[in-house]
């Protein structure tokens, strides 16, 4: 079973984060909610409080196949301001592991240098912050070991792209059918 970690910073976008966690788990892809802070809960941009599976400082990241970032504000800014997050993204990228982000969070991938020479998408208007990438407007973009997506309205597309990458197109299609998507 593939194992993923989604980093939750206070101010994360609830729909983007929880849709992805839910759909990955439905597809039998492990997805741990990792709190950037050491608290047991994380508060979303719209006041939804979520229990974390683990704290950042207590997470054995080498055990994971993918590192995922939800968007939202100030969550994205909190991720981008944390040097541990940037170093971890660089480490995953150097190891050829999947890094993925949705909405404003692809800008964190860019700050970490993992978008260099890749096609990527993000929340409309933030394309100028995708340094090193070729910005496109597709709902979800897979380029090598990087997956990006645009926002709340593309959260299911993002999750299905992750499932396709981690467990194959057939599994993603079965999941899309099971949740009555498209």
Active-site residue numbers? 103
**62 Cβ contact partners less than 8 Å away, ≥ 6 residues apart:** none
Cis peptide bond prior to 4, omega within 30° of 0: no
Return the axis-axis angle of helices 14-26 and 155-167, rounded to nearest 10°. 30
Strand ordering across the sheet containing 54-55: 54-55, 30-35, 3-8, 66-69, 98-102, 146-149, 140-143
* Contacts of range 175-182, beta carbons closer than 8 Å, 24 or more positions apart: 175/23, 175/26, 175/27, 178/26, 179/23, 179/26, 181/156
Residue 3, both tokens: 């194992």
Strands 30-35 and 54-55: parallel
């Amino acid at each position: 079973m593939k194992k993923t970690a989604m980093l939750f910073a206070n101010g994360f976008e609830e729909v983007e984060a929880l849709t992805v966690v839910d759909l990955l788990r439905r597809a039998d892809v492990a997805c741990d909610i990792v709190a950037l802070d050491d608290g047991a809960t994380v508060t979303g941009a719209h006041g939804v409080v979520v229990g974390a599976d683990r704290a950042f400082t207590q997470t054995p990241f080498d055990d994971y196949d993918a590192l995922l970032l939800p968007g939202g504000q100030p969550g994205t800014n909190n991720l981008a301001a944390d040097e541990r997050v940037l170093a971890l993204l660089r480490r995953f990228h150097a190891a050829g592991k999947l890094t993925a982000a949705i909405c404003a969070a692809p800008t964190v991938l860019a700050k970490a240098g993992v978008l260099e020479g890749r096609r990527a998408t993000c929340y409309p208007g933030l394309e100028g912050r995708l340094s090193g990438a070729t910005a496109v407007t597709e709902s979800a973009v897979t380029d090598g070991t990087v997956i990006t997506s645009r926002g709340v309205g593309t959260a299911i597309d993002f999750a299905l792209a992750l499932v396709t990458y981690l467990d194959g197109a057939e599994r993603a299609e079965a999941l899309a059918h099971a949740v009555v998507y498209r």
